[in-house]
Amino acid sequence: DTGVSQNPRHKITKRGQNVTFRCDPISEHNRLYWYRQTLGQGPEFLTYFQNEAQLEKSRLLSDRFSAERPKGSFSTLEIQRTEQGDSAMYLCASSEQGPANTEAFFGQGTRLTVV
Amino acid sequence: AQSVSQHNHHVILSEAASLELGCNYSYGGTVNLFWYVQYPGQHLQLLLKYFSGDPLVKGIKGFEAEFIKSKFSFNLRKPSVQWSDTAEYFCAVNAGTNAGKSTFGDGTTLTVKP
């Protein structure tokens, strides 16, 4: 296993279009997280899954955003009716459930540009 | 709610200079603390982490950080930087109940001149 994988690496879309990103976590990790990172800022938590259950969503996740993890393995993040403000790097991370002192591993991200 | 403040947005050093990047957090409970590094074009990588025990933690590539609970600080240090340390550095904190749900600072860009 080579780590957390995200596809595509880059996506350019026109305003108003829908986009979908995919994240494949480390295989034995049952927790999966989505973050958004805009220029000049650190990553901001969006949502996380434990297995297939979406357990928490940030207020940053507007109703145009939806995330799924249907079989508890890979996850998708969809943005509907994209806006220029959605332009950002979308990061995925995964971790074991285990004791509190575990760590999350990040993928390389999908950079979204809305034109 | 947790917050993380990184005081230096951009630091420029010459090779062999010493480095200290500041990080302060606000959270009243037990915390786990992290420093991540992001090299140009690469993903976030963990430099070091603090969960409990010795407040001076050592990470990869000669980095270390000291947790000072009374100051809510977790500053990153390296005695002698190299050109290859040029990267963006992020401090992060989580409440310890969820490994991946962290609050990040806005990052410090380190440029090391050869």
pLDDT in tens, B10-59: 999 999 999 999 999 998 788 899 999 999 888 899 999 998 899 999 99
Per-residue confidence (pLDDT) for residue A98, from 0 to 100: 66
Please, which pLDDT band fits residue A76 given cuts at 50, 70 and 90? very high
Q: Is A76 on the interface with B (CB under 8 A)?
A: no
Selected residue with higher pLDDT from B51 and A13: A13
Per-residue confidence (pLDDT) for residue B75, from 0 to 100: 97
Kindly give, in sequence order, each residue whose CB lies less than 8 Å from that of residue B102, ignoring residues fewer than 6 positions away. A43, A45, A104, B34, B92, B93, B94
pLDDT at A14 over 80: yes
Could B90 and A103 be called an inter-chain contact, meaning their C-beta atoms sit closer than 8 Å? no
Which of A60, A90, A102 would best serve as a mutation to test chain B binding (most B beta carbons within 10 A)? A102
Q: Are the C-beta atoms of residues B76 and B35 closer than 8 Å to each other?
A: yes
Give Cα B67 distance to the centre of its chain: 11
Q: Determine the residue of chain A that is closest to B4 in CA distance.
A: A42
Is A92 exposed, middle or buried, given 0-12, 13-18 or 19+ CB atoms closer than 10 A? buried
Residue A113 distance to chain B (closest CA, Å): 16
Lowest mean pLDDT: which of A79-83, A103-107, B33-37? A103-107
Q: Chain B contacts of A95, Cβ < 8 Å?
A: 99-100
